[in-house]
Chains A and B, each alone.
Chain A
Amino acid sequence: MDKFELIAGENPWSAQQRRSLRCLLGRMIPASVEYGVPGADDEAIFADVLTTARPHANQVDHALQRLDALADGSFADLDATRQLVVAETFRTEAPALASLLAAITVQCYYRDDRVMRSLDMEARPPFPKGFNVEPGDWSLLDAVRARPKFYRDAP
């Protein structure tokens, strides 16, 4: 059992597919020292992706088969330069499948505590605390208030 299987637990994809997916996620959203954020291939985020992807298991399976086919083997076994090329080919030739993987990934990535904090967000749900919104300058409306009525009367 490799470390990916430990992370994933029971899931519908093979170990090779999970390795390829994790590598693709790292190419999609890499870690950044500059912004202090993990990549989408981070262990916790990847585990979230695998869970979130389960309702779309067949489509994800299809996407990963396509990705590995483009790689002539396992996408994960390619060198970094070749992975970038194949990832771009995947996006071009299978846009719907690439969009699905991207959609699942960003759902998980942009709710990670570390990522939220890096965006100056509190790592919490909206409710019950809510947020502040400034009331705004209502004098902006003065010009509109001065307009005569312009709806049409109709009997």
Chain B
Amino acid sequence: MTTPVDVLIIGAGASGAAVAWSLADTRMRIVCLEQGDWVKSSDYPSNGRDWEARGIGDFSFSPNRRASDVDYPVNEDGSPIKIANFNGVGGGTILYAGHFPRFHPSDFRVHSLDGVGDDWPINYQTLEPYYAENDRMMGISGLAGDPAYPPMSPVMPPLPLGKAGATLAKGMNTLGWHWWPSDSGVATADYDGRGKCINLGNCLSGCAQGAKASTDITYWPHAIRAGVELRTRCRVREITTNAQGMASGVIYYDANGIEHFQAAEVVILACNGVGTPRILLNSTSTRFPNGLANSSGLVGKNLMFHPYAGIFGYFDAALDGYRGPLNVIRSQQFYETDSSRGFLRGYTFEFSRGRGPVGTALADMGSSRLPWGAGHHAAYRKLFNHITGMVAICEDLPEEHNTVTLDPTLKDSNGIPAPKIDYTLSENSRRMLDHAVARASEALRAAGAYDVAAESPLSVGGWHLMGTARMGTDPARSVVNEWGRCHDVKNLFIVDGSIFVTSAGVNPTSTIQALALYVADSIKQRLANLFD
């Protein structure tokens, strides 16, 4: 048995890093267990000529495709949308694009405003100071003044428009539709030890320049300097409890498969919307036969993704191709509910720039646009650097039949039961996706595209994992309370996307981290009576 600690955090990704950094000023003994490794910037694909191949290989965002020894397998046969994650210091922020939008005020009141889902027990104003603090810690670029949002102040100027952004912006202007520079975790100036973006164009495989705000280079250096201990290659099997029903620590395996027990006064889960319910469901005991913190029966239920559509236009003019960060501009023209559209809630368009030489070929090699044989080269040159477009990121509503459970047979390399995903795309989501594809096609045509292609939903698009340990004031209808503490276990907290009540129609990282900082502050304010 190792020396007991005051706070044990499981997971070193977006939320684990933020909560560790915030709690460090309490001078408590804090340890974070991370099942993956540190990733060296020199190991990122952009360092090599095979950068595109590695992006769909050992740096794929699919854990099943990477299948490295730090990954756990996921049975996703029951879902049309496949799971994406990364296991290592930084977690999903290693491979995310860096999109950093906040929720809107209406996103916390979906039931009151639109009669669907549930309201959050907190609101935009609750999180606003934490959004701002997180923007400063992560180093966010963007532009103030967006009429789609309450006022905010990004800490760096926006990313360049480039040829693609300008082309798309002109199309949106032609239609009179909203667009705005992306809020982005990609630095446009040297910031807190990070170099500014040099347009490597490969953000989704890790940033070799260090311009993208992954938490291994934002929060973690500060947290470690403040005394937090981060142990890598430590995979947690279960959270243990004592006779009083409080969490007593965790059992984990080290890199050699040796089992350890780490005692702790407080345990914080930060393992994303799949990893967190997996650990809770694996933490069974006589007192908690259905998994820890699961008296509501809602652990693992209400899984939300953001159903994505990808829509791309083909242009005669040369665009940016593989150059530049993925983030450029976004549109929230169709974000707030308008029931005349045939669905409730809405979506964001996130525009991208283009594709690399391999990506260009991969996307169209199976279509008539890029034939095999003598016509290949001429056709390819018509495509390469001539494609740009967007994704629509649609709000997913909570439904209890969308679940993370434990697979009865599939296990990871330590023999820990693996998660099983069952998910059905709702009719509301389907209508929203159809609307998004139609509007995106209009926008691309208005921008000058001579042809448009779409994939809806994007099968690989399970990037955002939310809702499986939801927040609420009613213990019968939620897993954690309004400040992240489990109703059933008063020294167990959750700070990742699991606690989302609804998903909004934007990328969740900004809100996940703002919530983590808010929960940390709530803990700090209640230290004298934290377990009451």
Which A residues contact B (CB, under 8 angstroms)?
27-30, 32, 34-35, 37, 52, 55, 84, 87, 91, 95, 99, 102-103, 106-107, 109-111, 115-116, 119, 121, 123-138, 140-141, 143-145, 147-155
Tell me whether A103 and B112 are in contact (CB under 8 A): no
Which B residues contact A (CB, under 8 angstroms)?
44, 46-53, 57, 104-106, 108-109, 112-113, 123-124, 143, 145, 147-150, 160-163, 165-166, 169-170, 173, 176, 178-181, 198-202, 208-209, 320, 322-324, 332, 335-336, 353, 357-358, 360-362, 365-366, 372-374, 376-377, 381, 384
* Complex-state Cα separation, A141 to B147, whole angstroms: 12
User: 4 closest pairs, A vs B, by CB?
Assistant: A136-B161, A130-B198, A106-B361, A131-B323
Tell me whether B147 and A148 are in contact (CB under 8 A): yes
Q: How far is the CB of A22 from the nearest CB of chain B, in Å?
A: 15
Given A110-B358, A134-B163, A150-B148, does the pair A28, B376 have CB atoms closer than 8 Å? yes
Tell me whether B51 and A155 are in contact (CB under 8 A): no
A103-B365, A110-B360 known; 4 other A-B pairs, CB under 8 Å? A110-B361, A127-B46, A133-B162, A151-B147
Write 15 A-B pairs (CB below 8 A) sorted by A numbering.
Answer: A103-B362, A110-B357, A115-B357, A126-B208, A130-B198, A133-B323, A136-B165, A136-B169, A138-B161, A141-B169, A141-B180, A147-B147, A151-B335, A153-B105, A154-B113
* Complex-state Cα separation, A29 to B149, whole angstroms: 49
Contacts of B149 in A (CB 8 A): 151
Partner of A144, one of B180, B199, B360: B180
Contacts of A84 in B (CB 8 A): 373
* Complex-state Cα separation, A91 to B373, whole angstroms: 13
Given A134-B163, A144-B179, does the pair A30, B376 have CB atoms closer than 8 Å? yes
Contacts of A32 in B (CB 8 A): 377
* Complex-state Cα separation, A116 to B385, whole angstroms: 13
Partner of B208, one of A55, A128, A152: A128
Q: How far is the CB of A88 from the nearest CB of chain B, in Å?
A: 8
Contacts of B362 in A (CB 8 A): 103, 106-107
Tell me whether B208 and A127 are in contact (CB under 8 A): yes
* Complex-state Cα separation, A133 to B106, whole angstroms: 36
Contacts of A151 in B (CB 8 A): 104-106, 147-150, 332, 335-336
Q: How far is the CB of A149 from the nearest CB of chain B, in Å?
A: 5
Given A102-B365, A110-B361, does the pair A137, B166 have CB atoms closer than 8 Å? yes
Q: Is chain B's binding surface mostly helix, strand, loop or mixed?
A: loop
* Complex-state Cα separation, A98 to B149, whole angstroms: 47
* Complex-state Cα separation, A129 to B104, whole angstroms: 38
* Complex-state Cα separation, A135 to B165, whole angstroms: 9
Contacts of A102 in B (CB 8 A): 365-366, 372
- Closest A residue to B151 by CB, please name it: A149
Tell me whether A107 and B109 are in contact (CB under 8 A): no
Contacts of A52 in B (CB 8 A): 53
Q: How far is the CB of B198 from the nearest CB of chain A, in Å?
A: 3
Q: How far is the CB of B294 from the nearest CB of chain A, in Å?
A: 31
Contacts of A132 in B (CB 8 A): 199, 323
Given A37-B377, A137-B166, A141-B180, does the pair A126, B372 have CB atoms closer than 8 Å? no
Contacts of B199 in A (CB 8 A): 130-133
- Closest A residue to B197 by CB, please name it: A130
Contacts of A37 in B (CB 8 A): 377
* Complex-state Cα separation, A29 to B53, whole angstroms: 18
- Closest B residue to A24 by CB, please name it: B372
- Closest B residue to A111 by CB, please name it: B49
- Closest A residue to B323 by CB, please name it: A131
Q: How far is the CB of B166 from the nearest CB of chain A, in Å?
A: 5
Partner of B376, one of A29, A116, A128, A137: A29
- Closest B residue to A37 by CB, please name it: B377
* Complex-state Cα separation, A3 to B323, whole angstroms: 39
Partner of B365, one of A106, A134, A138: A106
* Complex-state Cα separation, A150 to B333, whole angstroms: 9
Tell me whether B323 and A111 are in contact (CB under 8 A): no
Tell me whether B161 and A135 are in contact (CB under 8 A): yes
* Complex-state Cα separation, A46 to B191, whole angstroms: 44
Tell me whether A91 and B372 are in contact (CB under 8 A): yes
- Closest B residue to A103 by CB, please name it: B362
Given A125-B46, A131-B198, does the pair A152, B51 have CB atoms closer than 8 Å? no
Tell me whether A134 and B160 are in contact (CB under 8 A): yes
Contacts of B145 in A (CB 8 A): 145
* Complex-state Cα separation, A102 to B361, whole angstroms: 9
Q: How far is the CB of B327 from the nearest CB of chain A, in Å?
A: 12
Tell me whether A131 and B373 are in contact (CB under 8 A): no
Contacts of B372 in A (CB 8 A): 27-29, 87, 91, 102
Given A34-B377, A127-B47, A131-B200, does the pair A154, B124 have CB atoms closer than 8 Å? yes
Tell me whether B160 and A152 are in contact (CB under 8 A): no
Q: How far is the CB of B298 from the nearest CB of chain A, in Å?
A: 24
* Complex-state Cα separation, A124 to B165, whole angstroms: 25
Contacts of B381 in A (CB 8 A): 35, 119
Contacts of B361 in A (CB 8 A): 106, 109-110
* Complex-state Cα separation, A152 to B150, whole angstroms: 9
* Complex-state Cα separation, A107 to B366, whole angstroms: 14
* Complex-state Cα separation, A125 to B205, whole angstroms: 13
Given A110-B358, A135-B161, A155-B123, does the pair A30, B373 have CB atoms closer than 8 Å? yes
